[in-house]
Amino acid sequence: MDQNIKDCFKKSLDETAIPGELYKKYSVKKGLRNEDGTGVLVGLTNISDVVGYKKVDGEKVDDYGTLYYRGINVKDIVENGKGRRFLYEEVCFLILFGYLPNREELEHFKKTISDHYTLPERYLELNILGYPEKNLMNKLQREVLMLYSYDDDPDNVGVLETLYKGIDLIAKIPVIVSYTYQSKVHHFDKGSMIIHHQNYDYSIAEQILYLLRRDGTFSNKEAEVLNTALILHADHGGGNNSTFTNVVISSTGTDIYSAISGAIGSLKGPKHGGANLAVKKQMELVINEIGIQASELRIRQIVQDILDGDFNDHTGLIYGIGHAVYTLSDPRSEILAKQCEELSYEKFRHDEYEFYRKFSAIAIEEIYKRKGIHVCTNVDFYSGLVYDMLGIPEDLYTLLFVIGRTVGWVAHNIESKLYSGRIVRPATKFVGELKEYKNIEDR
């Protein structure tokens, strides 16, 4: 590091510091969050609703969490659609169009998705295999931007055109993700590269498992679990960082490829999309330390050690526990936990699932004892374990989040175009001092 630049930076901290009390003085919300942790309202949406508490006599009261897609409870979608191969595609239709499709509409939509699995001619050889990348999130950003070059009318940001382009991205991103992983394995991990042609009869979940696996086979339960995981990640309101990023970028009038690429960059951050990997690494350390058959007393002790900053990454945080909105329960976590348990029997890993369950219950108790707040497992707590049981490499954990969330990004992009139409431009308040310019000899 350049020492001169480092010294200048240290000097600048004294010159440009913003005292924390000024945020309160000017009623500025750090991170666009209110004092109670809820998000500052930045828009209206009819796509999804994240309900984590209720109000009684105007006061916030902890409640069991609920997630709605277009007014329909996600739990009802998953429970009533159990075993349906194309349930994620049905959810995509619901999120994009605002209503549940009839049989004819769903069949046509499924056909449209499968038709768009096809990559442009020689795209695989030239762009994916020809330019491998270690970081697959960065690679996916570039691939999405590369698709701009293959679009005959890429800067057309009309609502219908955005919908068409969005559907194309929903279909192509899972294929690109699978192939970029194979390319990385071959070039950087010195493994064998397996390239299957797309199967146009498969759902998106099935396509992913097929393209990633050497023999291309998977069980019905595996496909169902991955299908569910994609559904649970499809949307989470307009205020989450990546969705808001997508809307901010698209509000300038730029193309959808730039907006989706920006959203992927947002999701790459460990505070947003990378949390499931942090949970997996945390739990592996815990199990290696105390064993999967550890007593409740031993689990409680290591939970206390984590909270004290004496174990794992010494941050005092237990990853996978707690959420900005949900308090008593995260509905996504509850659904995924059930799927995880069912899959654990097929994979002969039920002891591991049981350890996760015991660990989370004790962690929730300990956090309440220390802080007096209700917390719950979030969707990240079980998702890493689920992906591991499915044999999905760690490199792809956050990318699966991208695959599931693309439909939400597209829907919010379109909704903003339809009903807001303005560039997103919040304000900041200048709190520095006014100064006179001095000649360099006088400084």
In this structure, the answer to whether residues 165 and 242 fall within a common structural domain is yes
Identify whether 25 is part of a domain.
no
**127 plus 222 within the same structural domain:** yes
The pTM of this model reads: 0.93
User: The tokens 């069912």 sit on which residue?
Assistant: 342
Does 440 map to a domain?
A: no
Of 386, 397, 424, residue with least CA distance to 268: 397
Please list the pLDDT of the chain residue by residue as tens digits (443 residues): 789 988 888 888 888 888 889 888 888 888 887 777 777 888 899 999 998 877 666 666 677 889 999 999 999 999 999 989 999 999 999 999 999 999 999 999 999 999 999 999 999 999 999 999 999 999 999 999 999 999 999 999 999 999 999 999 999 999 999 999 999 999 998 988 889 999 999 999 999 999 999 999 999 999 999 999 999 999 999 999 999 999 999 999 999 999 999 999 999 988 888 888 899 999 999 999 999 999 999 999 999 999 999 999 999 999 999 988 888 899 999 999 999 999 999 999 999 999 999 999 999 999 999 999 999 999 999 999 999 999 999 999 999 999 999 999 999 999 999 999 899 998 889 998 888 999 998 88
At 301, which CATH number? 1.10.230.10
Query: Do residues 229 and 326 both lie within one domain?
Result: no
How many domains is the chain partitioned into structurally?
Answer: 2
Residue 247 shares a structural domain with residue 358? no
Does residue 155 sit within a domain?
A: yes
Question: In the prediction, which pLDDT does 58 show?
Answer: 66
Does residue 228 form part of some domain? yes
Number of H helices and number of E strands within the chain?
Answer: 18, 3
In a domain, residue 40? The reply is: no
Is residue 188 included in any domain, yes or no? yes
Identity (one letter) of the amino acid at 126?
A: L
214 and 259 housed in the same domain: yes
Whether residue 66 lies inside any domain: the answer is no
C-alpha distances in Å from residue 87, one per residue of 25, 90, 228, 315: 49, 5, 8, 39
- Structure-block tokens of residue 44: 């209206």
> Are both 132 and 266 inside the same structural domain?
yes
Q: Which residues of 281-320 are buried (b: 16+ CB within 10 A; e: fewer)?
A: ebbeebbeebeeebeeeebbebbbebbeeebbeeeeebbb
Query: Do residue 293 and residue 414 come from a single domain?
Result: no
CATH code of the domain covering residue 129:
1.10.580.10
What is the secondary structure of 375-391 as a DSSP string?
A: --B-HHHHHHHHHHHTT
Both 145 and 288 in one domain: the answer is no
pLDDT of 270: 84
In the chain, the amino acid numbered 399 is L
Note whether 326 and 65 are within 8 A (CB).
yes
Cα–Cα dist 312/338, whole Å: 27
Q: How many CB atoms lie within 10 A of CB 272?
A: 15
Residues 181 and 299 in one domain: no
Task: Evaluate the CA torsion angle 151, 156, 157, 163 in order and state its sign.
Answer: negative
* Residue 198 domain flag: yes
Q: Containing domain of residue 306, as a range? A: 275-389
Residues 233 and 84 in one domain: yes
Same domain, 263 and 375: no
Q: Are residues 247 and 331 in the same domain?
A: no
